[in-house]
Amino acid sequence: MLLSITILSGCQIESEPPSELDKIKERGVLRVGTLNNQLSYYIGPDGSVGLDYELARKFADELGVKLEMTPAFRLSSLFPALEKGDIDVIAAGFSQSEQRLKKFRAGPAYYYVSQQLVYKKGQWRPRNIEQLVAKQIELKEQGDSSAVVKIVRGSHFESTLYQVQAEHPSFEFEIVDDSDVNDLLKDVANGDLLFTLADSVELSLTQRIYPDVALAFELTEDQPISWYMRKSEDESLYALMIEFFGFQKQSGDLATLEEKYIGHIGNFDYVDTRAFIRALDSKLPEWAPLFQKYADEFDWRLIAALAYQESHWNPVAKSPTGVRGMMMLTLPTAKSVGVTNRLDPEQSVKGGVEYLRRIVGRVPDSIPPHEKIWFALASYNVGYGHMMDARRLTRSQGGDLNAWADVKDRLPLLRKKQYYSKTRYGYARGDEARNYVENIRRYYQSIIGHVDQTQATEEDVSVDDLVVIPALEEAPEESPETETVEGEQSEATESSEP
């Protein structure tokens, strides 16, 4: 016995210390630091959502552990937390800056952004850094420091502006500790700050809430966005992360997630967005209770976005084509869902939601659940049969007929004879259907941001405030998919308007 104990003790002494991956598996929890914003992580009506959250959840599932998201209100607190070992990974949409790469290890790039100087529409706009520096010098001689660019401490903008200052010694900027990027963008929108920096995706998302913020000029080319971890000789976690992102790209899952969160942010319409933001304050409070009452399984903010696209929240809206009311229902559609008075907003909203529910129920189960709604909305606009034609066309061209990102690019082809002549239901204004859905997505994102802004408290969320999110239970296996596009039954074409 003594000899056995001695041998076992010797083996324990000589054994290698556990790797980073071993520690995470022993702990049973992957600790991920992130930011509370519309892209990385936020609490939606059905729980936690966000591009980085969904990727982190998949990664935790890959490791066979639970996920613990640690949201930080100030980005400057994330890297110290990683350095101290309070978190295992940062997943917050951070670029691969030279300064960060000196101390930390970056994972694979999963999208790209450029750094942009932001100003308020209607105010003086510099077209390049030379014009901005000249303006700063001019105002400084007058005792005015308002043109100083403000950025957040710990952001990737710091190293960029230090480089600018090295080339233009008169250039001035200020690093602030008591704000985040969104605070500074809001200050620009309110006219309290002339200039700040944002990345290209950040600016596009912010314009849905503050349409007056605009791009002055770009300071950098596109830069890779990555997760971060501690730099060490232990590559166990890093190796698995490379493998994980490689699979996400090859499988198309990463493209699907990016379409979900940032696929709608292009084609910014300043006039429309500004009118919509005004309506959020002047009209939405009156109609929000009605949307909430009848939304049922849908997010009421999505129903509100649909109603705005249809009627701009005008309960007595009328069209020369015969559609009426808040949800702009045709007479046959109204009768089919029990609406007797289309100009009654309560009946219209209730009937519009019921009609949408029926369409969602027809959308093939082969389409991912979170994308079914976009296919349903396209059908709501152009007709179910035409939507299915677009799916067939997508497949014939080698695209994924179950991915909205692929199908939405084929919808406009239904206007062209060389394509619609070969479809089952012929000509359709598919480009309008695509714009219809993408507009609703943008309105929806704006409503989410607006509601979050009005409900926000003064209390900051610090990196020490943990939000523990257990790994989701594994979804039950679905029965083998039997739906095929060609075999779809009863694809009766509806009117191009519901």
214-251 pLDDT, tens digit per residue, is: 999 999 998 999 999 999 888 899 999 999 999 999 98
Cα separation, 445 vs 211, in Å, equals 13
Strands (E), 274-429: none
Contact 391/367 with Cβ under 8 angstroms?
A: no
Contact 50/40 with Cβ under 8 angstroms?
A: yes
Shared domain for 297 and 403, answered yes or no, is yes
Report the run of H or E that residue 88 belongs to, with start and end.
none
Residue 1 lies in a domain: no
Higher pLDDT, 455 or 367: 367
Q: Is the dihedral of CA 112, 118, 122, 124 positive or negative?
A: negative
Strands (E), 325-445: none
pLDDT in tens, 60-94: 999 999 999 999 877 788 999 999 999 999 999 99
Q: At which of 156, 188, 220 does a domain end?
A: 220
What is the average pLDDT across 171-199?
92
Classify strands 467-469 and 66-72 as parallel, antiparallel or unpaired: antiparallel
Shared domain for 240 and 284, answered yes or no, is no
What is the average pLDDT across 475-483?
35
For residue 34, give every residue at least 6 positions away whose Cβ sits within 8 Å of its Cβ, in sequence order, or none.
40, 41, 50, 52, 53, 56, 69, 70, 71, 72, 78, 90, 91, 92
Structure confidence at residue 446 as a pLDDT band (50, 70, 90): confident
Structure confidence at residue 1 as a pLDDT band (50, 70, 90): low
Contact 302/443 with Cβ under 8 angstroms?
A: no
Shared domain for 318 and 430, answered yes or no, is yes
Nearest partner of 35 among 155, 184, 188, judged by Cα: 155
pLDDT in tens, 89-108: 999 999 988 888 989 999 99
Q: What share of the chain is helix, strand, coil (3-state, %, to 5)?
A: 50, 15, 35
**Percentage of the chain with pLDDT > 70?**
87
Cα separation, 434 vs 428, in Å, equals 11
Exposed e or buried b for every residue in 379-415, given b needs 16+ CB within 10 A? bbbbbbbbbbbbbbbbbeeebbbbbbbbbbbbbbbbe
Cα separation, 137 vs 142, in Å, equals 9
Catalytic residue IDs? 310
Cα separation, 481 vs 401, in Å, equals 14
What is the average pLDDT across 417-436?
92
pLDDT in tens, 130-145: 999 999 999 999 999 9
Shared domain for 335 and 447, answered yes or no, is yes
* Residue 434 belongs to domain spanning: 270-452
Contact 41/71 with Cβ under 8 angstroms?
A: yes
**Domain tally for the chain?**
3
Residue 410 lies in a domain: yes
Residue 55 lies in a domain: yes
Contact 82/90 with Cβ under 8 angstroms?
A: yes
Structure confidence at residue 48 as a pLDDT band (50, 70, 90): confident
pLDDT in tens, 316-364: 998 877 789 999 998 999 999 999 999 999 999 999 999 999 999 999 9
Structure confidence at residue 464 as a pLDDT band (50, 70, 90): very low
At residue 150, does pLDDT exceed 90? yes
Structure confidence at residue 456 as a pLDDT band (50, 70, 90): low
Predicted local distance difference test score (pLDDT) of residue 479: 35
Cα separation, 284 vs 253, in Å, equals 35
Predicted local distance difference test score (pLDDT) of residue 226: 95
Question: Any idea which residue has 């009766």 for tokens?
Answer: 492
Least confident of 20-29, 381-390, 485-494: 485-494
Structure confidence at residue 3 as a pLDDT band (50, 70, 90): low
Predicted local distance difference test score (pLDDT) of residue 239: 93
Shared domain for 229 and 284, answered yes or no, is no
For residue 48, give every residue at least 6 positions away whose Cβ sits within 8 Å of its Cβ, in sequence order, or none.
41, 42, 69, 467, 469
Shared domain for 429 and 326, answered yes or no, is yes
Shared domain for 182 and 69, answered yes or no, is no
Predicted local distance difference test score (pLDDT) of residue 10: 52
Residue 252 lies in a domain: yes
Shared domain for 95 and 124, answered yes or no, is no
Shared domain for 240 and 92, answered yes or no, is yes
What is the average pLDDT across 429-452?
89
Shared domain for 312 and 429, answered yes or no, is yes
pLDDT in tens, 248-269: 999 888 988 888 888 777 667 7
Shared domain for 432 and 356, answered yes or no, is yes
pLDDT in tens, 287-324: 999 999 999 999 999 999 999 999 999 999 988 777 89
Q: At which of 234, 262, 290 does a domain end?
A: 262
Question: Any idea which residue has 């929108």 for tokens?
Answer: 189
Cα-trace Rg, the chain: 26
Q: CB pairs under 8 A, 24+ apart, for 340-349? A: 343/315, 343/316, 344/315, 345/287, 345/290, 345/315, 346/290, 346/294, 348/315, 348/324, 349/290, 349/291, 349/293, 349/294, 349/303, 349/307
Residue 74 lies in a domain: yes
Expressed in angstroms, the distance from the first to the final Cα of the chain is 83
Shared domain for 88 and 135, answered yes or no, is no
Residue 432 lies in a domain: yes
Structure confidence at residue 7 as a pLDDT band (50, 70, 90): low
Predicted local distance difference test score (pLDDT) of residue 466: 39
Mean of pLDDT over the chain = 85
Residue 480 lies in a domain: no
DSSP secondary structure letter of residue 14: H
Q: At which of 189, 205, 220 does a domain end?
A: 220
